[in-house]
């Protein structure tokens, strides 16, 4: 099995990469290596992790004109005669696909690569897989894709409603970055934010403005130039920070703030969750339904639901640096154990096997899990039978257990459980569907008395009905008296 990963990099980052004029003089292999040295985006974490599993893979930065032309200079010089730059990039990419002969064409930026091109090269590969967790361009044609992966839980159902095979696949952290940004224990920045400002991040930017008025927040990221003249954030803005610069900021941050893009809605998914915790900063992030499936709130990361709560918790952390350091250490340990890309690539190969068994994917060495979903109403949260509660609190070799409930995730009875929690669950049927899309359970255990009648608007009833539609076995477990 061979996987060719098509990625794109941010234009200004590519310009900076070649600004000195030295790199462009180097052979293609040297230029290719330089693109990933700083860890921009996912870097070469996919090919590295896949390689450890015995799968040959390569990343191609398809929008890097100097890099792509360097490849053509060495392998297909006639392509350099094409006058249209866009056509030249696509022609070089096609030549690279023919050169590498991949089994899987994996597209990281589905907004960039035209559907017509994918239809043209589709006969050259077994399957075409796309990945997305950002706003979608208008009128995208998904027909060339055999599978779409997304870290946004509600996008799974969205893609499936469009007739596309889709699955949940979370982002991760490249642990090699810790070796490149070794720490001596000191962290120069008390409170930071690194990321986009304005645009698709309007809601989060308003929260950051409120924080900056009350605390000495330092800010890096794109969009700072467009902030209003009177913006406190604009006065705190330190410029953009990409790749190694961004990781350097995070490695030097005692506390750093995360906010999700507006399209994330009720769900935690973004890269900063893993980048910040992976680099050992104490992370303050917006509370989301599925966050407790990734990190234990207010133990491994700190959460907020409003600007006022964010300011209050940040003041506590700034005044108690040891508390922040302890939370940071636990968050980093969670990321390095569960959220590294070497582990994610095992999950990726399992997804390819599950959705495309006709390919030559061999996963005999990878673990096989049964997934159990435990559903419990808020009023029964403290009545989960003891053995089931203990099972939810443990890690298991051969199965995964997750609790779903309309209880607030902060209540003591549910702490340290892998859980999908929030009072809005009772108000939104889409959230129930998204939970099933992400968890994809083999069986559901419902902690409730056997109902005599169904209430259509009840979230637990909706969960059971959707499970029946998916032919998932549901079993009732009586809560303790």
pLDDT tens track for 321-332: 999 999 999 999
DSSP letter, residue 349 = H
Instruction: Answer left, alpha or beta for residue 32, where phi above 0 means left and psi between -120 and 50 means alpha.
Output: alpha
Radius of gyration of the chain (CA): 23
pLDDT over threshold 80, residue 360: no
Whether the CB-CB separation of 235 and 209 falls below 8 Å is answered with no
Q: Rounded mean pLDDT of 120-134?
A: 96
Q: Is the pLDDT of residue 291 over 60?
A: yes
Mean pLDDT, residues 338-362: 81
Query: CA 335 to CA 201: how far, in whole Å?
Result: 25
Tell me the pLDDT of the chain averaged across its residues: 93
Give yes or no for residue 426 having a pLDDT over 90: no
Please give the structure tokens belonging to residue 439: 């968890």
| Cα–Cα nearest to 267, from 156, 349, 353 | 156
DSSP structure string for 70-136: HHHHHH-GGGGG---HHHHHHHHHHHHHHHH--SEEEES-TTTS-HHHHHHHGGGSSEEEEE--SPP
Confirm if 280 and 328 have CB atoms less than 8 A apart.
yes
What's residue 364's pLDDT? 47
Q: What pLDDT is recorded for position 357?
A: 47
Question: Is residue 409 very low, low, confident or very high in pLDDT (cuts 50, 70, 90)?
Answer: confident
Q: What is the pLDDT of residues 442-473, one digit of tens each?
A: 999 999 987 655 566 689 989 999 999 999 99
pLDDT at res. 423? 81
pLDDT at 475 > cutoff 70: yes
Is pLDDT at 367 greater than 60 in this prediction? no
Round to whole Å and give the CA distance between 184 and 208. 29
Give the per-residue pLDDT at 451: 65
CA distance 480 to 447: 9
Question: β-strands 166-168, 147-150: how paired?
Answer: parallel
Residue 299: predicted pLDDT: 97
Per-residue confidence at 410, pLDDT binned at 50, 70, 90?
confident
- If you average pLDDT over residues 37-60, what whole number do you get? 96
Superfamily of domain 367-477: Glycogen Phosphorylase B; (3.40.50.2000)
Residue 401: phi and psi, rounded to 5, are -125, 135
Q: What is the DSSP string of 375-422?
A: EE-GGGTT-S-HHHHHHHHS--SSEEEEEEESS-TTSGGGTTS-EEE-
The string of pLDDT tens digits covering residues 94-124 is 999 999 999 999 999 999 999 999 999 999 9
Residue 356 has pLDDT above 90, yes or no: no
Res. 359: pLDDT tops 50: no
**pLDDT in the model for residue 395:** 84
Spatial CA neighbour of 442 closest among 411, 412, 398: 398
Give the residue-averaged pLDDT of 174-200: 88
Per-residue pLDDT tens over the stretch 295-320: 999 999 999 999 999 999 999 999 99
Confidence of residue 208 (pLDDT cuts 50, 70, 90): very high
C-alpha dihedral, 118 to 121 to 127 to 131, nearest 10°: -30
CA 135 to chain centre: 14
Each as own residue / partner, the long-range contacts of residues 138-142 (CB below 8 Å, 24 or more positions apart, any chain) are 140/110, 140/111, 140/115, 141/115, 142/110, 142/115
Pairwise pLDDT comparison (408 vs 61), residue with the higher score: 61
Is residue 229 helix, strand or coil?
Answer: coil
CATH class entry, domain 177-338: alpha beta
Residue 145 and residue 466: Cα distance in Å, rounded? 26
State residue 203's pLDDT score.
87
Range(s) within the chain of domains with CATH label 3.40.50.2000: 177-338, 367-477
Q: How far apart are CA 299 and CA 95, in angstroms?
A: 50
Looking at the DSSP bridge assignments, the partners of residue 301 are 297
Cβ 48 vs Cβ 40: under 8 Å: no
Closest CA to 255 of 333, 200, 310: 310
Q: Would you call 284 helix, strand, or coil by DSSP?
A: strand
Query: What tokens does 415 get?
Result: 């702490």
pLDDT (0 to 100) of residue 358: 46
Q: What is the pLDDT of residue 165?
A: 95
Query: What are the pLDDT digits (tens) for 376-408?
Result: 999 999 999 999 999 999 888 778 899 999 999
What is the assigned CATH class of domain 2-168?
Answer: alpha beta
pLDDT top residue among 153 and 198: 153
């Amino acid at each position: 099995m061979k996987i060719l990963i098509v990625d794109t990099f941010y234009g200004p980052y590519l310009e900076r990469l070649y600004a000195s004029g030295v790199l462009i003089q180097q052979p293609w292999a040297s230029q290719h290596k330089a693109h990933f040295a700083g860890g921009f985006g996912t870097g070469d974490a996919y090919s590295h992790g896949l390689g450890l599993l015995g799968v040959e893979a390569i990343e191609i930065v398809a929008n890097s004109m100097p890099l792509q032309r360097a490849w053509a200079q060495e392998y297909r010089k006639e392509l350099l005669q094409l006058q249209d730059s866009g056509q030249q990039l696509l022609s070089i990419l096609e030549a690279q696909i023919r050169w590498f002969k991949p089994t899987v064409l994996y597209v990281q930026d589905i907004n960039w690569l035209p559907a017509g091109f994918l239809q043209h090269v589709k006969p050259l590969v077994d399957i075409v897989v796309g990945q997305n967790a950002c706003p979608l361009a208008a009128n995208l044609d998904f027909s060339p894709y055999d599978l779409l992966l997304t870290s946004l839980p509600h996008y799974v159902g969205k893609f499936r409603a469009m007739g596309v095979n889709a699955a949940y696949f979370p982002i991760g952290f490249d642990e090699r970055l810790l070796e490149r940004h070794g720490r001596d224990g000191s962290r120069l920045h008390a409170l930071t934010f690194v990321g986009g400002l304005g645009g698709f991040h309007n809601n989060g930017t308003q929260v950051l403005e409120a924080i900056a008025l009350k605390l000495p927040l330092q800010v890096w990221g794109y969009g700072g130039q467009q902030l209003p003249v009177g913006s406190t954030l604009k006065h705190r803005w330190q410029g953009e920070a990409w790749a190694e610069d961004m990781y350097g900021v995070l490695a030097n941050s005692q506390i750093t703030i995360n906010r999700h893009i507006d399209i994330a809605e009720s769900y935690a998914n973004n890269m900063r969750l893993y980048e910040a915790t992976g680099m050992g900063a104490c992370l303050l992030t917006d509370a989301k339904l599925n966050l407790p499936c990734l990190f234990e709130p207010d133990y491994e990361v700190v959460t907020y639901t409003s600007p006022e709560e964010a300011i209050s918790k940040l003041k506590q952390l700034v005044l108690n640096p040891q508390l922040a350091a302890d939370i940071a250490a636990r968050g980093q340990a969670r990321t390095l154990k569960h959220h590294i890309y070497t582990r994610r690539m095992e999950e990726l190969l399992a997804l390819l096997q599950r959705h495309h068994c006709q390919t030559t994917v061999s996963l005999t060495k990878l673990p096989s899990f049964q997934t159990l979903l435990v559903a419990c109403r808020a009023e029964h949260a403290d009545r989960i039978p003891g053995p089931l509660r203990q099972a939810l609190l443990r890690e298991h070799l051969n199965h995964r257990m997750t609790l779903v409930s309309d209880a607030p995730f902060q209540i003591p009875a549910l702490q340290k459980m892998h859980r999908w929690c929030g009072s809005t669950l009772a108000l939104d049927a889409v959230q129930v569907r998204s939970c099933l899309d992400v968890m994809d359970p083999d069986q559901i255990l419902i902690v409730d008395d056997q109902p005599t009648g169904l209430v259509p608007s009840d979230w637990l009833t909706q969960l059971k009905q959707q499970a029946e539609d998916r032919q998932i076995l549901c079993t009732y477990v009586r809560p303790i008296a």
